[in-house]
Amino acid sequence: MELKPTSLGFLVYAVMTVYLVVAAAYLARLRRLAEGLYAFAFVLAVGAFGLRWYEVNHVPLQNLFEVCLCLGMLIWPITLFCRRFLGVGGEAGDAIIGFAILFPAGFIFKAEMQHLPPALQSPLFIPHVASYMLAYVIMAKAAVQAMAALAGSFLPEPDEFLDDRVLRATAPSFAAPNACLAWEEGAYRVTVLGFPLLTLGLLLGAVWGKIAWGDYWNWDPKELWSLISWLVFLGYFHFRYMYGKRFPRINASLVLAGLVAIILTLLWVNLANLFKGGMHSYAS
Amino acid sequence: MRIARHAILWVALLVIAALIVLSAYGALIGADSAKELFNSVPLVAFWCLLILLLLVGFIAFPRLVKSPASLLMHLAPLFILAGAMWGSEKAHEVRRSVGQALMPTATKLLGPSKADQFVNGWLEAGKVPTGYIALHEGEEDNRILDRGTQQPVAELPFKVRLKSFTIDYYPPRDDRWSLMIGLPVYDAGGDLVDERRATLKWAPDRETPITGTPIRLRVLQYLPHAGLLFEKGTKPYVEITTAEGQTVTLPAEVGKEVELKNPPLKIRVEKLFVNLRVQGAGAERQITDSPGEGSNPAVAVTLTQPDGTSRTRYLMAIMPMHGQAGEGLTMTYVLPQPTGAKPDPESKVPAMEVQLTADGRSHRVWLLPQEGDRQASLSLAPLVPAAKAEAVQRGLPALYLAAPRQDVKAYKSDVEILEDYRRMAHKVVEVNHPLHYGGYHFYQHSYGDQGGMYSVFSVVSDSGLWPVWIGFGMLCAATVWRMWLTPGWKYLMGEAEQKENAKC
């Protein structure tokens, strides 16, 4: 754990603080304040990302610090998109996700600027990392919806959930007789949004592997865990195809299991690599 | 029928679950064991079950065939599995055996050229799945070596030639060389096992203690670009000693020569090298000077006999055993030791003068890296009376003036493919830029410099690659179609409809 006493570091800490306030504001139902602060946090986050880009002189997606910085920036556009086009809320959760993602950037991962090693000099580098990052943030949002579905009766009715207009546009026959089903529907819609990105990330990684070191699949732990993450969601979609919303808690549990697999993919192997290195080591 | 469909879907869920469990197990046992597991016979049966399941699914679920996105996303795994299986190591072995068995019959039925087309072209029976080719600069070869045994396992129908291998570096972030201390590391038994290096922070004219030693250091001068100073009159020379013990000195200047009586030889200095480099081997051996890429000072001398025949020998200052002429003659290239440095803007190396104080006595010494060196070292053992004999022998503790770390930018192998002496392909192979030729990909794997620069290429068969790429493309297209485009379209249509309704 170490502090980053640089302008970039302070920006990151600022964004983190604002995200916490945003989450509190949403939970306290101070919607206007929350929305304003959330937008402000996004501006700060873009500033942080831009500053890093300027400092390193290439798209800053090379190490875990930069990956988290980007993720922390993307949360706001995702919140907006999900609200506007999917009719899905849960903004408080999103702000917490933003805080959680920036935490390692602020306190754990090294910001040391590194030259791009030969292995990372590829046009596939950014698309592979970017689709995965976006997918992870979206699946985290889905998992928050799923957790709310499981908490179900303990949570207040999600008012303003599923904007009427969006509802009629996308699922005219949908009825949410209770909070659990409403959250479950939200988890489903957000998972559907994120799954193509997860697929793209997985396959781009395979293509890049072939170009870089000769094989599109090496059976290494990182690849296997990313396959597991993908398969959990695949199983979820098949189960939901079979049983629809009859078992909302099982559906929600599967989405949560997907997030657990993602966390293991992202952290387990990388934490091991922070000590010894490996094919997927971001920190050289 | 509904029950059958339900059962099929349950089998699908179980297959997915099984794959998850197997993958988690595979992640625990490590990549090599996981690869063995997933290519083992029981797992091959599992993959076949998956293929069967998908085919049954197409029959049982007409919607799977009617909806383009669903069709694509379920066809994709079939393509991927087919390609992966065709390209697997086992499949290569099987095809090799089948090809060998079929060849006589095929030749009889189709004739030799059509049989070759069938067996080696269509069936791809002549290929090996993976291997290595190691080439020195200037060398060419067509043999693929096995990864484990380093023995040749196949011969390519063409030759791969390495023209040159270079490493590009990023310019260092900081030009300043760093001062470092190297301290001996002992194990529990008191034996010297390693050296530990640490950077010394220094400021001009400030005395700092050197950690781990009783010595105090003061930097007197740091010259970022330094030229070496030698004792007045000293110059490089070749010391020649005959079998009888007679010693002759030949100044190391081009054109200078000396005549010996016994053996009767005329020895002449032909060329001086700052960094002698040997490329290639045997008849193709090339000797060049590569200043700036290292430090191997050398001199080329010719020895001419009275009958006019002559031969050339290369004498290297740091490897005096090489290049000897035989006949009881010993030749050594001697370089004078520099005694100091002066600023020289053309020089690419720095120099540092330090004052070392220990035991009440002070010594002034220079750290003088030579052109092409990445560090200069100075043993501090004489100033550390408590140093163990083992450490003293290794020159520890030692003071280093070390060049800033260089990050590699690219490993570049200039490679060409030769068939019947004709150049069929040419590429500078780097990481992320393999050469694709003759059904194989050639990847930059590793390198070394023993016996000259050499590069090791990883050779991988491209069998079964196309179905895998097609499957990937189908899977991406299908998920985007079904999960983004279709709902997006519905949303837009829904909005349009609402606008229409609002008008009424």
pLDDT range class, residue A276, cuts 50, 70, 90: very low
* CA trace torsion B436, B440, B444, B445 (10° rounding): 170
The CA-based angle B426-B427-B430, given to 5 degrees, is 160
Helix/strand/coil for B352? strand
Interface contact A118-B430, CB threshold 8 A: yes
> Which of A203, A218, A239, A284 to probe the B interface (max B CBs under 10 A)?
A203
Whether B109 is in a domain gets the answer no
Whether B435 is in a domain gets the answer yes
Task: Based on the fold, state whether residues B330 and B353 are members of the same structural domain.
Answer: no
Chain B residues whose CB is inside 8 A of the A242 CB are 6, 9-10, 13
Residue B335 DSSP code? -
Domain enclosing residue B146, as ranges = 130-169+408-461
Sign of CA dihedral A269, A273, A276, A282: positive
Gap between the Cα atoms of B297 and A254, Å rounded = 68
* Closest-CA residue of chain A to B472: A203
How many helices (DSSP H) and strands (DSSP E) are in chain A? 10, 0
Whether B119 is in a domain gets the answer no
Q: Is residue B262 within 8 Å of residue B244, measured between CB atoms?
A: yes
Whether B397 is in a domain gets the answer yes
* Closest-CA residue of chain A to B171: A115
Burial-class residue B146 by CB neighbours within 10 Å (0-12, 13-18, 19+). middle
Sign of CA dihedral B334, B337, B343, B348: positive
* Closest-CA residue of chain B to A214: B460
- Window 395-424 of B: residues touching A by CB (8 A cutoff) are 407-411
Chain B residues whose CB is inside 8 A of the A217 CB are 84
How many residue pairs from chains A and B have C-beta atoms closer than 8 A? 123
Task: Based on the fold, state whether residues B216 and B353 are members of the same structural domain.
Answer: yes
In the predicted model, is pLDDT for residue A271 greater than 50?
yes
Residue B284 DSSP code? G
Tell me how many domains chain B contains.
4
CA of B184 to nearest chain A CA: how many angstroms apart?
24
Gap between the Cα atoms of A100 and A16, Å rounded = 8
Helix ranges, B88-195 (H)? 89-110, 112-116
Which residue, B24, B490, B215, B18, is CA-closest to A225?
B24
* CA trace torsion A233, A237, A242, A243 (10° rounding): 80
| The pLDDT value given to residue A152 | 67
In the predicted model, is pLDDT for residue A172 greater than 50?
no
Chain A residues whose CB is inside 8 A of the B458 CB are 213-214
Write down the pTM of the prediction: 0.79
Give the ipTM of the model, two decimals please: 0.87
| The pLDDT value given to residue A155 | 57
Which residues, 6 or more positions from B188, have their beta carbon under 8 angstroms from its beta carbon? none
Whether B437 is in a domain gets the answer yes
Helix/strand/coil for B362? strand
Residue B197: phi and psi, rounded to 5, are -110, 145
Select the residue of A200, A215, A224 nearest B26 (Cβ to Cβ): A224
Task: Based on the fold, state whether residues B207 and B260 are members of the same structural domain.
Answer: no
Select the residue of A122, A166, A199 nearest B432 (Cβ to Cβ): A122
Gap between the Cα atoms of B323 and B346, Å rounded = 32
Exposure on the CB side of residue B30, measured as CA atoms within 13 A: 3
Chain A residues whose CB is inside 8 A of the B487 CB are 170, 192
Q: Which two tokens stand for residue A164?
A: 């009427």
Task: Based on the fold, state whether residues B59 and B187 are members of the same structural domain.
Answer: no
Select the residue of A117, A170, A231 nearest B491 (Cβ to Cβ): A170
| The pLDDT value given to residue B361 | 87
Q: Give the strands of the sheet with B247-251, arranged side by side.
A: B247-251, B237-241, B330-334
Last residue of a domain, one of B290, B305, B334: B334
| The pLDDT value given to residue A275 | 42
As averages over each run of 10 residues, the pLDDT of chain B (504 residues) reads 91 97 92 94 96 96 93 97 96 93 90 88 90 92 88 91 92 87 88 88 86 90 90 84 87 91 89 82 76 79 90 86 76 87 90 91 90 86 82 85 90 94 92 94 90 90 96 97 93 81 69
* Percent of chain A predicted with pLDDT > 70: 84
Task: Based on the fold, state whether residues B251 and B327 are members of the same structural domain.
Answer: yes
| The pLDDT value given to residue A179 | 77
Select the residue of B10, B472, B491 nearest A85 (Cβ to Cβ): B491
Which tens digit of pLDDT belongs to each residue from A54-76?
A: 998 888 887 778 888 998 999 99
Chain A residues whose CB is inside 8 A of the B479 CB are 195-196, 199-200
Which residue, B20, B484, B478, is CA-closest to A190?
B484
Place of tokens 């030009």: B175
| The pLDDT value given to residue B281 | 64
pLDDT range class, residue A169, cuts 50, 70, 90: very low
Last residue of a domain, one of B358, B382, B402: B402
Place of tokens 């002189």: A57
Strand partners, B334: B237
Mean pLDDT, rounded, for A235-249: 95
Which tens digit of pLDDT belongs to each residue from A75-115?
A: 999 999 999 888 898 899 999 999 998 998 999 888 886 77
Interface contact B407-A85, CB threshold 8 A: no
Is residue B112 reached through a cis peptide bond, with omega within 30 degrees of 0 on the bond before it? no
Whether B116 is in a domain gets the answer no
Residues in chain B, total? 504
Task: Based on the fold, state whether residues B241 and B322 are members of the same structural domain.
Answer: yes
- Window 427-446 of B: residues touching A by CB (8 A cutoff) are 430-432, 434, 441, 443
| The pLDDT value given to residue B280 | 65
Whether B114 is in a domain gets the answer no
Q: Where are the domains of chain A?
A: 1-116, 117-284
Task: Based on the fold, state whether residues B253 and B273 are members of the same structural domain.
Answer: yes
Given 3-state DSSP classes, what are the helix, strand and coil percentages for chain A, each rounded to the nearest 5? Answer: 75, 0, 25
Whether B123 is in a domain gets the answer no
| The pLDDT value given to residue A250 | 95
Residue B188: phi and psi, rounded to 5, are -60, -30
Amino acid at A110: K
Place of tokens 């937008």: A39
Select the residue of A195, A228, A232 nearest B483 (Cβ to Cβ): A195
pLDDT range class, residue A174, cuts 50, 70, 90: very low
Interface contact B26-A219, CB threshold 8 A: yes
Chain B residues whose CB is inside 8 A of the A118 CB are 408-411, 430-432
* CA trace torsion A162, A165, A171, A172 (10° rounding): 120
Task: Based on the fold, state whether residues B348 and B221 are members of the same structural domain.
Answer: yes
Helix ranges, B439-482 (H)? 465-480
Helix/strand/coil for B449? coil
Task: Based on the fold, state whether residues B224 and B344 are members of the same structural domain.
Answer: yes
Amino acid at A162: L
CA of B121 to nearest chain A CA: how many angstroms apart?
22
Gap between the Cα atoms of A213 and A194, Å rounded = 28
The CA-based angle A64-A68-A69, given to 5 degrees, is 115
Gap between the Cα atoms of A155 and A169, Å rounded = 27
Task: Based on the fold, state whether residues B190 and B226 are members of the same structural domain.
Answer: yes
- Window 300-339 of B: residues touching A by CB (8 A cutoff) are none
Given 3-state DSSP classes, what are the helix, strand and coil percentages for chain B, each rounded to the nearest 5? Answer: 35, 40, 30
Residues in chain A, total? 284
CA of B68 to nearest chain A CA: how many angstroms apart?
16
Which residues, 6 or more positions from B298, have their beta carbon under 8 angstroms from its beta carbon? B272, B273, B276, B314, B315, B316, B317, B333
**Pairing mode of beta strands B351-358, B361-367:** antiparallel
Residue A152 Rama label (left phi>0; alpha psi -120 to 50; beta)? left
| The pLDDT value given to residue A182 | 85
Amino acid at B274: V
Gap between the Cα atoms of B233 and B113, Å rounded = 76
Which residues, 6 or more positions from B107, have their beta carbon under 8 angstroms from its beta carbon? B115
